[in-house]
Every structure is written in structure tokens, then in C-alpha cells.
Structure 1
Amino acid sequence: MTTIHDLRVEHHRDALGIGEAEPRLSWSLADTQGAAQTRYQISVSDEISGLRADADPVDSSESVLVPWQAVPLRSRERRQVRVRVWVAGESEPSEWSEPIVVEAGLLHRSDWNTDFVSPSVSHSAEGPRPAYRLRSRFDLPAGDVARVRIYATAHGVYELHLNASAVSSDILAPGWTSYLHRLRYQTYDITGLVVPGQNTISALIADGWYRGRLGFNGGLWDNYGTDVALLAQIEATMSDGTVHVLPVSSAWECAPSAIISTGLYEGEEHDASLDDLVEEWTPASVLPFADFTAEIVAPTGPPVRIIESIAPVGVEVRPNGRIRLDFGQNITGKLRVTVTGPRGHTIGLHHAEVLENDELATRPLRGAASIDRLTLAGGDHPFTWTPHFTFHGFRYAELENWPGEFLPEQAVALVMHSDMERTGTFTSSDPLLNKLHENVVWSMRDNFLDLPTDCPQRDERLGWTGDIQVFGPTAAYLFRSTGTLVSWMRDVAAEQKALGSVPNFVPWIECGFPQDPAAAWGDVAVMLPWTLYQRTGDIGVLRDQYESMTAWVDQVDALTGHSGLWNSGFQLGDWLDPTAPPEKPDDSRTDRYLVASAYHARSARLLAQTAELLGNTGDAAKYSAVADRAASSFRYEFVTPSGRVVSDTETALSVAIMFELLANEDQVQRAGARLSELVIDSGYRIRTGFVGTPIICDALARVGAHDVAYHLLLQTQTPSWLYPITMGATTIWERWDSMLPDGSINPGEMTSFNHYSLGAVADYLHRIIGGLAPAAPGYREVLVAPVPGGGLRAASSELVSPYGLVRTGWTREGTKLVVRAEIPSGVTARVELPDGSDPIDIAAGSHEFVCSYRPAEDDPAAVQRVNLHNPEERALLETA
């Protein structure tokens, strides 16, 4: 009997306090014996009254983001939703799914009936500031209370307690948005925490991103305001549906906290001896809600939480008395320590990603001190502590001035990031390739702390647009990250409208970096929505971002003088070309205006396709013309009639091939042959930066040079993807040589050991090596076309797609190749075997195919090329 799994709402992991009045539903099917869904029916019932409304059955095979089939939700409304389906060959429907509960948040600004409250303390001086305590009391209404909610947000970051119990496990709420435009609020269920009669609500609140230091070159304070303030509305819903908004704002009090200073870059200082001092509460200041004009919105993605804890794998007492902890993994997070010591004794917690000269390497942190300090209250009982309002990027930590003997169980590292569900995996017979993929996963985790950032450790941690533009396909595969990215893209659109262009990082901070539009970075406005549509099937993402997409392409079209050739102004180009000097990361071998013009053509083409999908036929024609003009100008300016590309670099050739800018297939093959020559000439070492790196293996695959791509991918000498692994990397580095072979750190001022952008190659691993590629939006159709090579004996990709689990993989046994595919209900697939046989179309179910296969490395010509240009690779192949 068919069963329904994973019924979900929009892109939410938790449907409490959502901001959609008509949320779309998705589900996947199991036990269909390969039969496709032919009809579905949605049932919505009121949890309090029990009234149930079954919508009319809909004849459709769709099961992803299907329209809401009930009366739109009003603010606070709570509904139970179930689905059942019919599949081909069965006359009866499935059983109803297990119900999920959907509850709307406060959908309108007028729903807010309280004010912000702020500690009555002014801090005009720049520097780390303390956290403050706020509290108020409220009486629970008499009668049968069905549920109690807190709707809360802050200028700053906050934690809530009710009657001394934590309200949630969220960290650094409300997260970071473009606060002048959008401020997210959170909905918390406190039904189980309230007691009859009087209750006490309390909060810790600190600067966070709102008022703390942000940016590089010294950073800026008070970017969004000089206040820290809490907005908290408490509501009780009675069993008859009556809603009581409980008055609290006029009674708030404030007091100092034991957190005497805290900052995202600086670290946190906590004096536990202050916890037991006599409390001195004074009235808090009331800041009228009406004075703040930012839109108050519900989250579309998950909150930041502690995801896991890691025990140290190494403990060493240093000559200076510090205790060094090695956690074996570079993470974003913080330490939790348990300690006993005399009153007034202060411990320092120092953090770093790597060691240099057997010391913590703190130079790459630049202005981020990343030091936490704990002053003890004394007593005989162990005290367990972790910072509240900061985070660090680190693998190593040193405990300074630890009292007495240290035991390894007294310190753990807490991993923090947005609480996203893992969806995609990859594995192969090559341990180094597997480690590369694992490092990509970790760098995504470490840089998805509420929004997609560049790095988690130094005085930056910004939402760089270029990084997520190239990494978007990998992000969409590895985790259910759409909700997080949708929120961030709305900030992109808001900043774009306010500033007149897409800034190079979002939220935008005026910290000295050029605001000028830059290709590949600003193109995120088009490319990331397109990527999410392709990977999730959510056309709503395109609809929501359409104004932003058109504004970007129109702006660049105007900058080209409507010629299609973007050949003036500021550009970042092929950023971090490995040949660039450490102090000039933009000094690429590739013409930056070639990159700019190529991206303009690509974005215009994707926008034309978007317009067609949305039914905007006039715009589709308009932007097709812009794309044609840009492609023609690109060829005129940068391509010879025979297919040679200006700059003659791997990046220039890759963008020309992958962005479909060449005139015909002969030019594509000519460019591909030259690309292969350049890669071989380099000794299969990387010579691409941000723009070329994500697509070079795909460009080689496009022209059939798979053996060249494999040798480039499997290179272990610097610069290469695998070189950092030979140096002990557990995340993706910002530079190919962030650490030099002698163990010293790259002398460049900009050196991080945790950037995901160069890990965008993982998308190639998933699609080309593992053989799992989307052939239609949302993986409704899948292309199973694995390309073995590189001496690999096996590889596989696995994805929890919007329709369910997809598995592909292959194993090599001599000259025989076995290809396997597992396809969920509602999905079809095309299998293309590497023996050149005709494609095979398959439906849901488990499938196995066997074909003959002669590895490219068995080709004497290929081996000769390897031996001639890169002798050390010969041993790798012979070993394989």
C-alpha cells in the first residue's frame, strides 16, 4: 500500500509561526511499486474546534510545492494538514498521511501591540559592550488556556527565559538581516512553561550584528543604531479561540548581567562572581514600535543552534602553562568548559584555525581577537560555562591560567550553524577525494551561520555575493538550504533597491570596500534564484526575485551602453588566481572585462528563460535580445574566428564554453582542445580563481576531456584541490596555498582556512563522477550519466530530492562497469552508460546496468601525456 512520507510546508523545517497565509505543501511517496501518483487530496482541520475541510481531489502527479487547498490562514491560526493520494493501477486512495501542524505567525504589522524595551544605559564609546538583563511579569488568564506564544525579536541578539527555563535552543536570534529593511521575529511555544497566576519573562540582550563591530579595515560600530532593544509580545489563546495579548512592555525592568563585554569578533568576558550579587533592577526604556520602520517578517529558514559537540582529540600542556586542545576539525562555534577554582580567578580561551611555528596562528584573524574570558565565582562545585553571544572559527584552542589539573572531559567544542537538514552525499574509492568532499560539507556548515558568509573566523564574516553565486548548486545539493537562501536573497533585493545596485556583500556595511557593481558577484541576483529553481522546482523563487533579476540585467545593459560589452569600471575578475601576488588577489591572468561580459551574457540568457517561465513573453523577447547582443559582442571582442579566446587562460576558455558564448560546435571543440593543452601544460595544477574554478572540470567534460579533468582534480601538488588535504586541512581554504608546503602561512593579508567557494567543484563530483544530475527542475527528471576515470574503482551520489531519495553509483570490475540507480516515485530518469550505447529511460524503482568499459588511463596516449607532463601522477595511476 502506498504511504506518504515527509509531508512539509514551503521550505520550513518547523511550521510554527510561518509567514505564509497560503503555504504550499510537498510530500514524497513510498511503497508504490513504481506506480506514479495520479491524484491527491488535502485535508485541513482546526485543532481547537476539530472542524475538518477536505478539499476536492486534484487530478495531478505533482507532489512538490502544490497550492494550499483551504481558506488562507489568518494571523495565529493553527491547522492540522493531511494528504492522501491515488496511484496508477490502484482504485483506492492511500491512507491519510500523518498530520502536520501549521501555525501562522503575526502576518500583519498591525498584529503587533507592544513596544521595544531597552536597557536604560547609553554606550556611545566604541568597544565591546556588556550584555544586559531585562525582565517583566505577566498573569496568565483564568480559564482553559489552549496555548501560549511569545513573538519576539531584537535590535541586537537575545535569549529568552520563562520562569527560569530557557524558551528555546536558538542562538544569536533573531539572526542577521538588512535590519534597516527587514527584521525577523521568532515564534516560541511556551505553553508548557507557564504556570497559573504570575509568570516572569526575562531576557539577555547584547550588541550582536546590530550594534557590534562589523567589517574589515578596523570595522564599524553601531551600523544600524545605537540602541539594543527587545520586542516581545506574549499571547494566550483560550480553548474557545479567544486571544489575549498579555501586557508586559510597561513593566519591564533592566539590570547589568555577568557578561561584562561581548562581541562577535572580540569574544566574550563573563564574571560569574556577579551572578550572586544583589540584583539592582531599574525601569527599562520604552521605544515606540511605530518609530521603527523596518518590515517585521517571519523566518523562511531554520535558526542557528548547537548542532553537535566535539571532544578534543589532542591535549598538550605548553611550556608557557597554557593547555592546547586540538579538536581535529575546523569548526564554527565555541567552547564549553567545566571548571572549579577560587573566586576571582580568570581563565582565557584563545582560538585559532591552524598552528604556525608550533603556536596558535592568530595573524589570519586580523582584528578579531577571538578570546573568551571567564572569571570564577569560587566554591567547591564545578561550574559549566559557554559564551552566549559570540562565535569563533577554530580547530585549536588554548586555555590560559587553568586552575589545577585539566581533564579532557572538561572542555568540548560546540558546533554552531543554521539547523539545516542534510540531503546530499558523495563517496568514492579514493580516500583523498572523499576527504575533499567532507571538507566541502564542513565549510558549508561553518559558513551557513544564519546567512551564507565567506569565513567564520576573521574580522569579516560577511555575506559575499560571489561566493554563494558559485557555490549555490553545491549548497542546494548538500543541505535543505533554500529557506536560508530565500531570506538572504530578499535582503539582496532590499539592499539593491536602496543602493541602486547589488552590493558585493549583503547585508552591506560601509567599511571601505567598493560599492561598484561587479560581475560574478552582482550576478548572484540572477544565478542563485535560477539555481534554486533548478534544484528545488520552486518557481516561486523566480517570481519573488524577478524584480531584482531584471534590475541587475538592466543596470549592466546600461553600463555597456546597450552594446553587450562590459569593458569599463571596477571588476573583481577571476579573484584569487593562484598566480596573483599575495597582496593583489585581483591580479588575474584573465581579462576582467572578458569575465564581466561573459557573465552579462549568461545572466541575460537566464533572465530571458525566467521571463518565459513566468509568462512574461515581452520580457522574454527583450532579454533574449540583450543576451544575443552580449554574446555577439563577446565573440567580436574576445574570440577569433577559429575559436581562440583572448587571455588564453583556463578561466577564459571555461567561461566561453560553459556560458555557451562560442559561435558553433567547431569553436567549442577548438576551445576545449586548447583548454586541455593548458591544463596539461600546467602539470595538471590549478590556474583558475573564483570564476574559473567552479566550472573548469565541467568545461573539460563538455568537450569530452574527462581524463584531463580527472588528473586536474586528483592532483596533490600545490595549487590543487587535494594539496590542502595533504597539509591536514579539514575545511576548504580561501587560497590554494593558504598554508605553504613548509608549514608557514601565506603572507597575504587575506588568508582564511575556511571558505567554501573553491569547494564548488563538489557539484561536479555529484553530477559527473557520481552520475546524479537534475534533468528537470526539482529533480523531477534525473540524468544518470556517471563518468568513471582517474583510477577510481567506485563512486556514488545520494540525494534526498524534493520527490524522495535518489541514489546513483557505479563499480568497476576490470573491463566491466556496473551502474546502479534508485529512483523515487514521481521521478523518471535517463541512463547514459559510458560505453556509448543508446540512452535508456527508466521509471521509479531500483535498476542495474552492466556495460564494458575501458578506462581512459588504460589508453597509452593518455598515460603518455600524464607521464610527460606530471610524472608523479604515474605512481598514483599504477597504484590505482
Structure 2
Amino acid sequence: MSVVVDAPRVEHHREPLGIGERMPRLSWIVSSAPSDWRQTAYRVDVERDSATESFEIESGEQVLVAWPAAPLGSRDVATVRIAVRGADGAWSAASAPTTLEAGLLEPSDWIARPVGAMRNENPQSDERRPSLVRGEFEARADLVRARLYATAHGLYEAVLNGERIGDDTLSPGWTVYGTRLRYYTYDVTGFVRPGANAIGAWLGDGWYRGRLGWRGGFRNLYGTDQSFLGQLELTYADGTREVVATDHSWRTAASPILHSGIYDGEDYDARQEQPGWSTPGFDDAGWEIAQERHRDPATLVAPTAPPVRCTEEVRPVEVLTGPSGSRILDFGQNLVGRVRLRVSGEAGATVTLRTAEVMQDGEIYTRPLRTARSADNYTLAGREIEEWEPRFTFHGFRYVEVSGWPGDLDADVAAGALVARVYHTDLERTGWFESSDPALNRLHQNVLWGMRGNFVDIPTDCPQRDERVGWTGDIQVFGPTAATLYDVSGMLSGWLRDVENEQLPDGTVPWYVPVIPADKMWTPLRPGAAWGDVATLLPWTLYERFGDTGVLRAQFDSARRWVDLIERIAGPSRLWNSGFQLGDWLDPAAPPNDPADARTDRYLVATAYFAKSARTVARMAEVLGLGAEAARYDTLADEVASAFAAEYVSDDGTMTSDAQTAYALALQFDLLTDPRMRDAAASRLAQLVHEAGNRIATGFVGTPLVSDALSANGHVSTAYDLLLERECPSWLYQVEQGATTVWERWDSLLPDGTVNPGQMTSFNHYALGAVADWMHRVIAGLAPASPGYRKIRFAPRPGGGLTSASARQLTPYGEAAIAWRIEGAELRVEVRVPVGSEAVLDLVGAGEETVASGLHSRTVPLAG
């Protein structure tokens, strides 16, 4: 068998166009090789400016290896191929090529200025009309390359000669704009014509100046202007480059979009369209001269992750009629996106689409949306066929109430006239799970859909109500599951840069990032356990799952400053027992309107996280070669663990908070070093689960930990009992109630079919879905045993009456997989180990065995 190397990957980019790294790291997968083959060296061929350099490196590494050539400059293009050598000294053929291209890396590269309307607007009004901007230019016939570098204050969609540029949406996304404003790079070579051309953009408020926040929210949080910044660079055959940049020569007019907002939806009047506005020769004499706005090119950064895109279309499964006569589309799936319509009717007729996640009493139920209008209005122009989809908003919904439809709604829906388009950051899927239990498979799908709907540029808490912010605690607990299901390495490492940008000088990590004003509960910023610990635990998760030491290096100072802050707060006692804490948020025993009132002492939670973060910073320092720092934080973690045990753990292993979350924290954060105490705590945890009728008794903090605390300490069967319970509260209660995503509350929908009365009642939150990572690692039995899956652990633990399970994982080294099934009294297991990795196969009753890359099958007597 020959050795085959796939085309290399550049950093964490799916499409390495317009990248921001001067020396991008490279990774590759050896997709085919003889059994037991091992890489001993690799060669990187880098072609630049028609010259090729080759670099041979003696190393077995193939994930995020250093760029060997000279640093990239702005606009530089390089084509990279990889060859590898085995122990026999033979080189493989070179891989297929990957072509990468740098963006604009220097502030001085930017000559464009943001341009927008000069209209006087009430800065606090809903009646702020979005704008169009346009300009014209001439191009020569010998064009060889054209690149558009674009961003906005607000949101934009670029057009060139009447054609939409790119398939991204909600660009440039949501960052801490004052320090990081993303720009995107588009290859528009095929759009530019010899002679006259026109370029323009649609604009919307977005997060930059739209309404954000609770209880009515705030506007203009980042600025008052709505403007487009575009720099089109034309390169000709003789090497000359011309730049077409936004400036005062551009013109602007009101858009047919009458209103657009993240929370409130979009209103569009097709009668006010201006056909041909983005084509050359259009008469824009009636348009205003665009006003140039302030720019700071030092804040412009290239993206580290894919943009938000439409990844799927979903058609309604049923058209319902409510008691009021309302017509309601049921899409069969709670999703995030927008509805595209195709409609015929008289000019001036308006179609209204109102969205909701649930129904109650036969009608869409919008109370959980709070003040989010979540509605779109389309006024027809009277053409034979009109097609429309909102541009600058998104909704979380399963149901859509349609009013004003001018045709036969039932027939038109059957013909595809209304389709839900699913939008989220276009991450690569990496993890799959199946089992013999359809309810567990549906739970896994619910977790997957919930993640998709809440990874809309940033990791949000919910996608439907007047909130949709990047809660740090939610992604901290869900990070391992996110990193299993999708390649989140680029997206979350980029978001962590904003976490550090928003971190206060004293080390306080905000509750959500980017930070926006809120009520007195969240403002001013205060340190809080589990939420602030995202600064330590999420970088470590990305390192464990993707083998990226770079994220540790980038975030180490942020992580260290967080732990140093808690050390100062705790003082010599090493107990974090003061201040505002959310504790085990949304414990099912907490009152509907006081979700922090959990069974577990919030300061027990805080001190446990203090110990965990101190230990994690020590491990980060160790990886980075910072020996003295590693020793210091290890000592601190030991001191906190000792203080925790003295304060919260009795001699018999019981805890002052006799609750599932307390024991799960103590066990999973290694705060009980005495094996006798660990056994006692695990036994008490299992007893608590059974005393509760196997119903869940944990909130955001305990839920990601409780299953592992049981299964890792001799109580696998109890972990299955907890997972497979169907009475409220439980994971499968939600499934039994028809959930298609994971809920914010265990009982967001009450057993009587009514919606929970709490003010926070979302039907699409991912935090409680963190159990999916346990399903992959313990039920199927596939987990990383060293960073980046260089070593894999296959350790399935069948139970709960399951007769089969499987998991696949696209690791940085290639696909790893496991499938097991029970046949009679035997367990049959098949595993796949990618080239470059090795694995430990740990089957109950058979001991541990190390296996090399390739396919392996084992049959062992069924344990128990």
C-alpha cells in the first residue's frame, strides 16, 4: 500500500483566502499507509512567485507544524504541498496542493474609508432606514486578479455588477469592534468586466448600532453610523495594481429595507426597489453624496473561522389552523435562520411572518421572546413572481404564523413557496454518534441542532429572544461537546481574543462577551465562578481536542490574571466565599424566578472552580515550558483543594451540600485525594441519584460533570439510569415532550403542555446538552488520550439495555471510529485508528491493549 498525503490545512481555516497569519501553521492527514507505518520526516514545498522552496524536517509531527518559509506579506499567494517519509526511508508522493493567500496585514494597506448616509436620524428610534451605497469604476481587459476586502459599521452584503458577492451573511459578525473589526476577502475576478463596472453594498444596523440587551435594550453601542468599507484591488497582467476604495465619490440612497434589527426582524417594501442600482450606467443623480466616517485600520483583522452561511433548507411538515383562524407553518424542527418566500400578488399587499419556538392553546406562543418582535414583513411590488428573504436578521423558531398571504397557502407551501433557511457559522462537522435507542439518538440530534442555532458568529446562549449574547459560562461547560461535534478551533480561539479584550485590568472576566450594558444584576462587571473560568478551561479544551499549543500561548496571560484575581479575593483562607455568584444555575429545584437558588452552596462551587482553574493554569504553564509558573499554580491548586476539603467535606466523605452537583465537582475536579473519601463520595452521589428516582438534580455547573463522576467511579449503571430516565426533570423528558433542541430549563415545557412561567424560558440552549460528550466518550467509547487525538482511548462501557453504539470523530490525524454490538454473551468491537495516531483499547474484562493505526476487531465476553 502506498502512502497518500491529503492536501495540507492552513491554521484552522477551511478556505485560506485572505488569512491574517504571516507564518501560518500547517497540518496534514496521511489518508493511506501500510500497517504500522510511522512518519519520521516531512517535506514542505512552498511555491511563491513561480519559485519553489523545499524544506525537509526530521519530525513525526503533522499537526500545526511551523511555517518553514519566509513570512507572508500582504496579498502574498503561496501554494503548499507536503510529502512524508517513513522509517524505511521512502518518501511519499507530494500531496495535492493547497493555495493560501494573505489578506491586508498592515494598517497602511488600507486607503478605503467607511461611507454611509448623511440623513438625519433619531439615534434611539426604530425608524432608521438602512442604506444602499454604490460607486463605479473602469477596468482593463488584461485583468488577472481582483480582490474585494470588505467590512462595515453594521452589517453588509456586497454586490458587483448586479451580482451578490459571497455567500456569507451577517458579516462582519460581532466582535469587540473598538479593538477587532473583521474584514472578509472575496475573489471577484470573474465578476469584473472590461470597461465600466459598478460596485455597491446593502447595509443594516446589526449588532453595531442596532437594539441589543434586555428590557428594551440599548442602541448605538459601538457607533451611530451605518457605513461600508470596501477596497477592491485590481491586478493586471503587467503587474500593476489599481485600487477602487470607498470614499466621498460614492453615493448613497435609502434601501427598500424599511427597518431591520437582530431582535425585531425586517420590513421590506419591494415597491421601493431601484432596479439596476448596482450595475454600471445607473442614474444615481438623485442619490446623496456618501459621507466618509472615521476609521481605525489598526483594528481591522482577518477572520479565524468561517462566516455565517446558509447550510440547509427545511420545508414545512404541516400547515396548521389556529383557533383564531391563524395559519401556522410547522417546520418540524426548532432551527435558526430565516424564511424565504416566493409569492405572487397585487402591489402593496403585505405578507407578515411571525416566528415562535412553541405553540400553546393552538396558537404561536411568543411570551418567551420577551420584547423581541421576531417578525418579518414583505410588501409586494406586483411582479409575476417575487422572491424574498430577510438580509440582516435571524430568528429562532419552529413555527411561523403567516398572515396576508395572497394565494392558496396550502398549495403554495406544498409547491415550496415558503422554506426555512438554516444559518450558523459554517463549521466543519467532526463528530457522529448512534445507538440502538432511538430516544438517545434524538437527544444527540437535539444537542447538535442546539449548537448549530447558537453558533451564529459567537457562541450565544439562545437565538430567539431579546438577548442572544455570548455567555461565558454556557460555552465553558459546553466546550468539550462543541469540540466533539464540530471543528470550533478557529471560531472559539478568535472569540477568546475578545474575552481577553473585554477582561478588566484586575482580571475580571465578563459574564458575556462582547459586553453590552444590562440591568444591575450584570452591571457593573463582577467576577463569577464557572463563567469567568472560561478564560482557563476553554483554551485547555481547545488544546486537548485540537492539539493547539498556540491557543494556550495566546490566552495564558488572560488565564493567569483570572486565577490571580481569585487568589486575591480568597486571601490566605483559599476559600472563595464572598461576592455575587450564580452557582449551579438553573438547578431544577430552584424557583422559576430565582435560578441561582440551587441545592449546592454557591461558594462551594466557586472554591471548586478556583482549584480547577489554578490547576489548569499550572498545566498550561507546563506545556509552554514555564516551569516556575507551573510549580506556583500547582502549589496554589493544592492549597485550594485542601481548604475545600476542610470546609465542605466531612470525614466520612459526605459534603455540607448533600447534592449531586457538590459531589460531581469534588470528584471531577480531583478535590478528594483519599481513595476512601472518593469511594464514599461516589457512593453517596449514586445514592442521591436513585433517591431522586433517577431524575436530574443538577444545573449548568453539575450537568456536564455528574455522568462522568458516576461512570469514572464505579457507578456506570447509575449513570445510565440517570441518562435514560424519562420523567421530569431528565434529558429524555424533553425528548418525550417532542423537543428538537435542548431547553434552557429542564422543564421549559411543563408536563401539562404549558410553558414554564419563568422570565427565562428558552427552547434552544445548549448548556444542558453537554452530556453528549459523555455519550461519545463512555457509551460509544471514543476519547482523546493525548492532545489532538495523537493517542486515542477506546473504552466503551455498554449499559442501560443498549445493544449497540458507534461514534466517528474527524481528528486532526484523520477519522477515528468505534462500533460495538452485543451478540448473545459477547461484546464485538471494531475500531479505526488514523495514521499518525495510536490507541489504547480498554474493554471491560480484557484489560488494556495498545494498537497502531488501522482497523482492529475484538470479541470479548460481556462483562457482568
TM bucket by the smaller chain?
over 0.9
Taking the aligned partners of 1:503 and 1:326, their CA distance within structure 2 comes to 38
Contact (CA 8 Å) 1:84, 1:97: kept in 2 or not?
Answer: yes
Contact (CA 8 Å) 1:321, 1:401: kept in 2 or not?
Answer: no
The size of the alignment, in residue pairs, is: 846
1:327 maps to a residue whose letter is: F
User: Following superposition of structure 1 onto structure 2, how do residues 108-507 of structure 1 map, counting pairs within 5 Å?
Assistant: 108-128=106-126, 129-140=128-139, 142=140, 144-276=142-274, 280-289=286-295, 292=296, 295-318=299-322, 320-379=324-383, 381-406=384-409, 407-408=412-413, 409-497=416-504, 500-507=507-514
Taking the aligned partners of 1:239 and 1:695, their CA distance within structure 2 comes to 60
Aligned-partner SS, 1:62: coil
Aligned-partner SS, 1:21: coil
Taking the aligned partners of 2:805 and 2:835, their CA distance within structure 1 comes to 24
2:601 to 572, 591, 612: 591
2:397 maps to a residue whose letter is: F
Taking the aligned partners of 2:245 and 2:489, their CA distance within structure 1 comes to 36
Q: Deviations over 1:107-152 (max 9, x none)?
A: 1111111211121123234243322100011222x46322111111
Contact (CA 8 Å) 1:455, 1:754: kept in 2 or not?
Answer: yes
Taking the aligned partners of 1:711 and 1:538, their CA distance within structure 2 comes to 36
Taking the aligned partners of 2:168 and 2:690, their CA distance within structure 1 comes to 50
Gap change, CA 1:247 and 1:299, over 3 Å in 2: closer
User: Following superposition of structure 1 onto structure 2, how do residues 530-609 of structure 1 map, counting pairs within 5 Å?
Assistant: 530-609=540-619
2:158 maps to a residue whose letter is: L
2:82 maps to a residue whose letter is: V
What is the CA distance between 1:321 and its match in structure 2?
Answer: 4.5
Aligned-partner SS, 1:544: helix
Taking the aligned partners of 2:246 and 2:755, their CA distance within structure 1 comes to 54
Q: Deviations over 1:819-854 (max 9, x none)?
A: 11100101000111112x331110001001111114
Q: Deviations over 1:176-213 (max 9, x none)?
A: 00112211111111110001122111111111000001
Contact (CA 8 Å) 1:367, 1:459: kept in 2 or not?
Answer: yes
2:518 to 511, 516, 530: 511
% identity of equivalent residues: 50
**Is 1:765 aligned with 2:765?**
no
Structure 2 partner of 1:77? 76
1:652 maps to a residue whose letter is: A
1:554 maps to a residue whose letter is: D
Taking the aligned partners of 1:86 and 1:845, their CA distance within structure 2 comes to 18
What is the CA distance between 1:272 and its match in structure 2?
Answer: 0.5
Gap change, CA 1:294 and 1:667, over 3 Å in 2: farther
1:742 maps to a residue whose letter is: D
> Which is further off, 498-507 or 333-342?
498-507
Contact (CA 8 Å) 1:734, 1:754: kept in 2 or not?
Answer: yes
Structure 1 partner of 2:22? 21
Gap change, CA 1:719 and 1:611, over 3 Å in 2: same
Structure 1 partner of 2:278? none
Gap change, CA 1:499 and 1:750, over 3 Å in 2: farther
Contact (CA 8 Å) 2:113, 2:246: kept in 1 or not?
Answer: no
Structure 1 partner of 2:44? 42
What is the CA distance between 1:610 and its match in structure 2?
Answer: 0.6
2:856 to 847, 853, 863: 847
Taking the aligned partners of 2:159 and 2:326, their CA distance within structure 1 comes to 35
What is the CA distance between 1:288 and its match in structure 2?
Answer: 3.7
Contact (CA 8 Å) 1:180, 1:294: kept in 2 or not?
Answer: no
Taking the aligned partners of 1:104 and 1:499, their CA distance within structure 2 comes to 36
Contact (CA 8 Å) 2:83, 2:94: kept in 1 or not?
Answer: yes
Contact (CA 8 Å) 2:230, 2:245: kept in 1 or not?
Answer: no
Structure 2 partner of 1:65? 64
Taking the aligned partners of 1:252 and 1:297, their CA distance within structure 2 comes to 24
What is the CA distance between 1:320 and its match in structure 2?
Answer: 4.2
2:421 maps to a residue whose letter is: L
> Which is further off, 801-810 or 26-35?
26-35
What is the CA distance between 1:469 and its match in structure 2?
Answer: 0.2
2:697 to 671, 687, 697: 687
What is the CA distance between 1:638 and its match in structure 2?
Answer: 0.6
Contact (CA 8 Å) 2:80, 2:98: kept in 1 or not?
Answer: yes
**Is 1:666 aligned with 2:668?**
no
Aligned-partner SS, 1:110: helix
Aligned-partner SS, 2:45: strand
Contact (CA 8 Å) 2:7, 2:95: kept in 1 or not?
Answer: no
1:350 maps to a residue whose letter is: R
- Output the TM-score relative to the length of structure 1: 0.95
Contact (CA 8 Å) 1:43, 1:83: kept in 2 or not?
Answer: yes
Taking the aligned partners of 2:253 and 2:459, their CA distance within structure 1 comes to 35
Gap change, CA 1:797 and 1:378, over 3 Å in 2: same
Taking the aligned partners of 1:270 and 1:67, their CA distance within structure 2 comes to 50
Structure 2 partner of 1:860? none
Contact (CA 8 Å) 1:821, 1:847: kept in 2 or not?
Answer: yes
Contact (CA 8 Å) 1:322, 1:402: kept in 2 or not?
Answer: no
Taking the aligned partners of 1:472 and 1:650, their CA distance within structure 2 comes to 21
What is the CA distance between 1:773 and its match in structure 2?
Answer: 0.8
What is the CA distance between 1:244 and its match in structure 2?
Answer: 2.7
What is the CA distance between 1:433 and its match in structure 2?
Answer: 0.5
Aligned-partner SS, 2:635: helix
Aligned-partner SS, 2:176: coil
Structure 2 partner of 1:52? 52
* C-alpha RMSD of the superposition: 1.4
Structure 2 partner of 1:803? 813
Gap change, CA 1:377 and 1:95, over 3 Å in 2: same
2:290 maps to a residue whose letter is: A
Contact (CA 8 Å) 2:341, 2:388: kept in 1 or not?
Answer: yes
What is the CA distance between 1:702 and its match in structure 2?
Answer: 1.6
Contact (CA 8 Å) 1:211, 1:221: kept in 2 or not?
Answer: yes
Aligned-partner SS, 1:588: coil
Gap change, CA 1:535 and 1:588, over 3 Å in 2: same
Gap change, CA 1:247 and 1:501, over 3 Å in 2: same
What is the CA distance between 1:314 and its match in structure 2?
Answer: 0.5
Runs of 5+ consecutive residues of structure 1 not aligned to the other structure: 856-880
User: Following superposition of structure 1 onto structure 2, how do residues 578-727 of structure 1 map, counting pairs within 5 Å?
Assistant: 578-727=588-737
Aligned-partner SS, 1:520: coil
Taking the aligned partners of 2:313 and 2:8, their CA distance within structure 1 comes to 30
Aligned-partner SS, 2:728: coil
Taking the aligned partners of 1:822 and 1:663, their CA distance within structure 2 comes to 35
Gap change, CA 1:438 and 1:413, over 3 Å in 2: same
Contact (CA 8 Å) 2:582, 2:596: kept in 1 or not?
Answer: yes
Aligned-partner SS, 2:355: strand
